[in-house]
Amino acid sequence: MKVAFLGTGLMGLPMAQRLLAANIELVAYNRTPEKLAPLQAAGAEIATHPRQAIRAADCIILMLTNAAAIYHVLLSDTSWRTLEGRTVIQMGTITPTESQEIRDAVIGGGGEYMEAPVLGSIPEAKAGKLIVMVGGKPEQYQRHLKLLQNFGSEPVLVGSVGAAAGVKLALNQLIASLTTSFALSLAFVERQGIDIDLFMQILRESSLYAPTFDKKMRRMLDGNYTNPNFPTKHLLKDTDLFISEAKSLGLDLGSIEAVRQLVQTAVKMSFGNDDYSSIFSAISQWGEGVGE
């Protein structure tokens, strides 16, 4: 099998590198060509246009920013005409509705489609320890299981197309909400002059604890959000996707809409390309006029 990998950003690059390390023949495309240099050095074929990558491959993996990018790269007229007989595996974060619409377009072009979004960040991508959630037919899952195991040892078949995208959005809502709640408690404890190590010791021993708290605490206290595993702007995008999809389900979205406002404030504070733990600064500096 020859694989085309479209989208080699923060997550796409280490994922593509894992395929090369497994001796899988790879052709790569990225809208910013400079990001392809490490893959070219590792033996990947480089395509200057998406249709070249698609034509050269049996299977196309998408790790693109959003649905608009997928339509531009995969479903433009010239690319769409090359999909016949090929499998598209969509691994980015989009809504269930978007995933189903893209599936229909791919099938209309003579190809087949499945989704396989992932949970985890750059360290897990490098180590092949991502949680891979699959939406598609059981036979598609079985046929591509070995390929997907390069990214995570136990890919989970969630259901048909749209189901895995839904689970991914539900999990990313938790990322935004948990991080915001922890940041508020941490800022409160800090302002109260309470020993933070003692607070964390009590928290760790409780059923309230989540490992992400320790991963983000030091960044928050130091105000050091550089070298992100997941940028704030991407969390804002995913929060917007969750809200847009959840609106049709009759849910009260008051809590996540308040979280979204804080994430947006962090972006406005120029933390868009930095780690999403920058939500802490949006909370702790609110009284300095940031939240006005």
Question: Rounded CA gap, 224 and 220, in Å?
Answer: 7
- 3-state secondary structure (DSSP) of residue 5: strand
Question: Rounded CA gap, 160 and 180, in Å?
Answer: 32
227's CB contacts (< 8 A; 6+ apart) are 275
Is residue 269 classed exposed, middle or buried when 0-12, 13-18 and 19+ CB atoms within 10 A define those classes?
Answer: middle
Query: Do 36 and 92 form a contact (C-beta atoms < 8 A)?
Result: no
Closest CA to 184 of 215, 225, 228, 216: 216
- 3-state secondary structure (DSSP) of residue 152: coil
- 3-state secondary structure (DSSP) of residue 38: helix
Buried b or exposed e, range 165-183, using 16+ CB within 10 angstroms = bbbbbebbbebbbebbbbb
Quick check: is 168 catalytic?
yes
Q: What are phi and psi of 205, to 5 degrees?
A: -85, 0
- For residue 239 the two structure tokens come to 């929060």
Query: Do 91 and 131 form a contact (C-beta atoms < 8 A)?
Result: no
Question: Rounded CA gap, 210 and 178, in Å?
Answer: 9
Cα atoms in the 13 Å half-sphere on the side-chain side of 289: 0
Closest CA to 246 of 169, 159, 180, 174: 169
Given the residues 2, 35, 168, 247, select the one marked as catalytic. 168
- 3-state secondary structure (DSSP) of residue 30: coil
Which residues are known to be catalytic? 168
